[in-house]
Amino acid sequence: MYRIIHVDQDWIVCEGQIGIIKFDRKAAALRAVHDAKELLHSNEPLERKPIKSIAVGTRWLKA
């Protein structure tokens, strides 16, 4: 669940105890929460891309 709090002149969108993003207008903060909820509930599956591995010395790192 998202919360919007007003601190000084700013509106901060929070999830739980974490402040995610700060706006100078309340309308922009409300729109960001609305858009985030729409994205979370969209029916389109995410495109999955394979992870490439590269050799570095004797260790493998995921790129």
Q: How many domains does the chain have?
A: 1
Tell whether the model's pLDDT for residue 57 goes beyond 70: no
Residue 12 lies in a domain: yes
Distance CA(12)–CA(38), nearest Å, equals 19
Query: pLDDT tens across 1-25, in order?
Result: 778 888 888 888 888 777 778 888 8
Q: Which domain range does residue 15 map to? A: 1-44
Residue 33 lies in a domain: yes
What CA dihedral angle connects 52, 40, 14 and 32, to 10 degrees? 100
Q: Record the pTM.
A: 0.51
Residue 4 lies in a domain: yes
Radius of gyration of the chain measured on its C-alpha atoms: 19
Query: pLDDT-derived band of residue 32, with 50, 70 and 90 as boundaries?
Result: confident
Residue 1 lies in a domain: yes
Residue 59 lies in a domain: no
Distance CA(16)–CA(13), nearest Å, equals 10
